[in-house]
Structure 1
Amino acid sequence: MPQHRNTDRPNIIFIVADDLGSADLGCYGGSSVSPNLDRLASEGLRFTRGYSNSPVCSPARFAMITGRWQYRLRGAAEEPLGGRRSTTLGLPPEHPTLPSLLRKGGYSTALMGKWHLGSAPAFGPLLSGYEEFFGPMGGGVDYFSHVGFSGVRDLWEGDRESAEQGYLTDLITRRAVEYVQRKRDRPFFLSVHYTAPHWPWETRDDAEESQRIGADIAHLDGGSVETYLRMISHMDEGIGQIVAAIPEAQYDNTLVVFVSDNGGERFSNNWPFIGGKMDALEGGIRIPQIAWWPRGIAAGSNSALPTLTMDWMPTMLEIAGVQPDPDYPPDGMSLLPLFADTGWNPARDLHWRVKHRLQASTVSGRWKYLRVDGHEYLFDVVADGRERANLAKRYPQRLVEMRQSWEAWARTMPGIPDDAAVSLLWDESDMPRPTH
């Protein structure tokens, strides 16, 4: 393993929240529960049209770690159920990833937090480029008992089960802070994947709630907006601690990127968008996205460029001076030019395919094509972010062009396997839908 000593290459901290709504943070018009993230946004670059690759957790994470359309991998054709043992539903260890390529390029790599890209022993962070790992392997765990979907404890230290006790958000923060503070002779790449504010809805003071629900972590009779906001606040406090832990000599040359894996869920604030997790509506795929890098990004920057979360892989590789694997070229686009020129606006179409309700979508500039259960819509999502004015009849040619764009892209992707399933462990009855 090469031991590069190039101090000009930045450290990279990639922070991912779980099911955070597009307007949950203060810097996106939400409640004042995120002063540390709000500060990073004011001192860095705030994206106003950031999109997730998927409205569901696990497929979105396939895209983030590979920089490619998640549909290229069998494991991302569905939402793997937490705790399911499988030799097919996971990230193949031989597939190049953001951490594996950075590691080959001389970076130290670690994941503190959620994995959700396949179960051991066939899959895992240590098989896909991370040198260190602490966190849950599955999709969600109780914040105190650390019990996962299958009813068994799901907290790991490397490839061994961890017996560590405590509130999970704080445990992830503590491990991340310790990692950032270490003395080292090479740059580091640290993924911090919080499970917050994913259910079960528990704050630091809700140990009794944890005992009440037991192994039923997908319970539907708990939580509140107040609890949800406090969970975000706990995460935000941790992010402030991580940034404060950056050594002074490295502070200006550390890139911190914050995203949500997908749109918000039950108690989230997705205003002004409708829909949420599981939906190709804006509420399911629009996410908060912040980049902070004192040396490379001017304070107070904003960008309305439509981006996808898979763009961060080629962006971080370019910043680190590391080449992608030629056999697995990124589908994402490097956003590095945007750091110097927030007016940079390359033309491209963004696409989604969701098995749930047979959803298809394409965004091109201000236009969005949406198909749900066979019904087609055309929206100007800049003027009509709530997707209420269906312009399909007013602009029939535009509808045809957008449909053709999606179909041309879809022909380049593997089909959805017949046995692909979707995890429906939450109540979506209160999610608003387009009207026909």
Structure 2
Amino acid sequence: MKEFQLKTTARTYSILKIAARYSLSALMLLFFQGHCQERKPSLEKPNVIIIFADDLGYGDLSSYGHPTIRTTNLDQMAAEGQKWTNFYVGASVCTPSRAALLTGRLPIRSGMASSMNRVLFPDSHNGLPQSELTLAEQMKKGGYATAAIGKWHLGHKAEYLPTSHGFDSYYGIPYSNDMDNITPFRSAGGYFSFWKSEERKDINTFNVPLMRDTEIIERPAEQHTITKRYTEEAIKFINEKKEEPFFLYFAHNLPHVPLFASKDFEGTSPRGIYGDVVEEIDHSVGQILDELKKTGLDKNTIVVFTSDNGPWLIMNEEGGSAGLLRSGKGSTWEGGMREPCIFWAPGRIEPGIVTDLGSTLDLFTTFSKIAGVDIPNDRIVDGVDLAPVLFNNKTSTRKDMFYYRGDKLYAVRVGDYKAHFLTQEPYSGPEVEEHKTPLLYNLSIDPSEKYDISEANPEIMAKMMKVVKDHNEKMVKGPDMLKDRG
């Protein structure tokens, strides 16, 4: 009997011990489930910051090959994130490129590309149509606070400003920083001759307004300190909205000419004033990333850095560099539309170099889906979802890119190959050249577009012509919103 009691006691102890162990496991499971559930909303709704430079070339960052411009913060951002080497914008000049980013649609669809005027001007009548759905409006549907800081250039009238397109607030200039020039270009020998004059160094020559929401708060904008003040506004917004998901569209108006840097940066770069400006933008990026780390938001924020189009080469030393790419701003050669692009999200995006195709068109789709918002089905959206590439090391589903200049299709890229149907040098040189046999380049082997291989590859050309035919059959061009001025 005693032996039975001892065995029973031992068995009971073992059962209790097992039960206790499972209870502890259950408690730990409940704890971790509760912890995950507590964090789940923020992980599903990461903050999004898009930093968009103006006229920055593919070769203007040290991490993309520039030998004398020191972009240490962007280089660190690239080392900690994904550096994309085949990333494109929707157009080679300001207005249509910005429309492409914010709508996820080729700008020809929204009428934000024109054969008459390449961009909007201070006397333009129109802007981005209200019928277009912007990324800001999508993010608001997902419960995000939204802000636009910097250059807009999608319409300066109240009905076209950021606050009419899904942004809760706006602080910046409504168009390019060289507009509202009080010196007649005619008396200065024309626009491009003007940039050789000393007047270009005086902010009072450019009567561009600085706005808050729909009100002008400074005119002319003090451009020496504008990068610094944009950054301060961005940091203020981050801190004000850190308890809720937020979307910040931070669009610098530099290094577009005229070039101005603050006292701390002017005269400090071996690349001259252009280098001063780019290095101050790099410093601004560092301040944004530092603030995210300081507030603990770095683990729950996705930051993208890219540029609106290639460098304005005709500005000589006051313009940037496309590196090994051909041509620059205003052209459909690679230098006009392929841009540096860095995605950064510590712990979420694994560091690496991505050679797949991507585009600013894809930001609309990618971030809409991250925000849990459906892509509209009442219009053609040209963007694809880059999330599988960013977070799961998958292959990009973008397989082609269409290169428009104004309202005409000049070139197409399909996979590694690019065909040019029309070519034109930007701002100077001969008129449009139409190629009866399109020029063909393998961009993986020849990113500088030096070696036409069309004669040796008729089967590749046939495949590309099929892609163009399908594209043209489905293309519906929007009414020209840029033509009306005066």
Deviations 1:314-354 (CA, angstroms, capped at 9, x unpaired)? 11112222222332453200100002343514362211221
CA change 1:293–1:387 in 2 (3 A) is same
Give the match for residue 255 of structure 1.
302
Whichever structure has more helix as a proportion of its residues is 2
Aligned counterparts, 1:146-185, within 5 A = 152-163=207-218, 165=222, 167-185=225-243
* Counterpart position of 2:415: 365
What is the Cα deviation at residue 240 of structure 1? 0.8
User: What residue is the counterpart of 2:434 in the other structure?
Assistant: 374
Matches within 5 A, 1:29-428: 29-30=65-66, 31-77=68-114, 78-87=117-126, 90-141=127-178, 152-163=207-218, 165=222, 167-205=225-263, 225-246=271-292, 247-266=294-313, 267-299=319-351, 301-328=352-379, 330-346=381-397, 348-355=399-406, 360-371=410-421, 372=423, 373-375=433-435, 376-415=438-477
- The answer (yes or no) to whether the contact 1:114–1:194 under 8 Å persists in 2 is yes
Q: Is the 8 A contact 1:84 1:119 kept in 2?
A: no
AA at the equivalent of 2:465: R
Instruction: Work out the CA distance in 2 between the residues paired with 1:412 and 1:183.
Output: 41
Amino acid at match of 1:28: Y
C-alpha deviation, 1:79, in angstroms: 2.4
Does the 8 A contact of 2:326 with 2:335 survive in 1?
yes
Change (3 A) 1:345 1:93: closer
Unpaired runs of 5+ residues, structure 2, are 1-39, 180-199, 314-318, 424-432
- What is the rounded CA distance, in whole Å, between the counterparts of 1:130 and 1:314 in structure 2? 18
The answer as to whether partners of 2:163 and 2:170 remain within 8 angstroms in 1 is yes
Whether the 8 Å CA contact 1:135–1:157 is kept in 2: the answer is yes
1:144–1:167: 8 Å Cα contact kept in structure 2?
no
Q: Whole-Å Cα distance in 1 between the matches of residues 279 and 49 of structure 2?
A: 19
Q: Which amino acid aligns with 2:312?
A: E
Name the stretch that deviates more: 314-323 or 180-189: 180-189
Task: Give, in angstroms, the shift of residue 34 of structure 1.
Answer: 0.8
* Conserved 8 A contact 1:79-1:422: no
Q: In the alignment, residue 189 of structure 1 is paired with which amino acid?
A: F
Distance 1:418 1:236, change over 3 A: closer
Q: CA deviation at 1:396?
A: 2.2
Distance in 2, matches of 1:169 and 1:203, equals: 8
Q: What's the Cα RMSD here?
A: 2.9
Residue type of the alignment partner of 1:72: R
Q: 1:52: how far off?
A: 1.2
Give the number of aligned pairs.
400
The SS at the match of 2:339 is coil
Q: In structure 2, what is the Cα distance between the partners aligned to 1:28 and 1:338?
A: 21
Deviation of 1:176 (Å): 0.7
How many Å separate the matches in 2 of 1:181 and 1:418?
40
Q: Tell me whether 365-374 or 174-183 shows the greater mean CA deviation.
A: 174-183
* SS of 1:48 mapped into structure 2: strand
| Distance change (3 Å), C-alpha of 1:132 and 1:418 | closer
Aligned mates of 1:114, 1:178 — CA distance in 2:
18
Question: Separation in 1 of the partners of 2:373 and 2:228?
Answer: 32
Cα deviation, 1:32-82, whole Å, max 9, x if unaligned, reads 421111111100011011111111111111110011121111133352243
Contact 1:113 1:193 in 2 (8 A): yes
What secondary structure does 1:340 align onto? helix
SS of match in other structure, 2:311 = coil
CA distance in 1, matches of 2:368, 2:202: 37
Distance 1:108 1:291 in 2: 21
Alignment partner for residue 24 of structure 1, among 46, 54, 60?
60
User: How many Å separate the matches in 2 of 1:416 and 1:67?
Assistant: 15
SS at match of 1:6: helix
Distance, in Å, in 2 between the alignment partners of 1:183 and 1:36 is 24
The answer to whether the Cα contact below 8 Å between 1:144 and 1:207 also exists between their aligned partners in 2 is: no
- Which whole-Å deviations, capped at 9, do the CAs of 1:74-104 have from their partners, x for residues lacking one? 13335224312313xx112342110011112
Distance 1:131 1:33, change over 3 A: same
Give, in whole Å, the separation in 2 of the partners of 1:147 and 1:189. Answer: 33
Q: TM-score w.r.t. structure 1 length?
A: 0.84
Deviation (angstroms), 1:250: 1.8
Q: Equivalent pairs: percent with the same residue?
A: 29
Report the AA paired with residue 122 of structure 1. E
CA contact (8 A) 1:112 1:191 kept: yes
Letter in 2 for 1:128: H
**Equivalent residue for 1:217?**
none
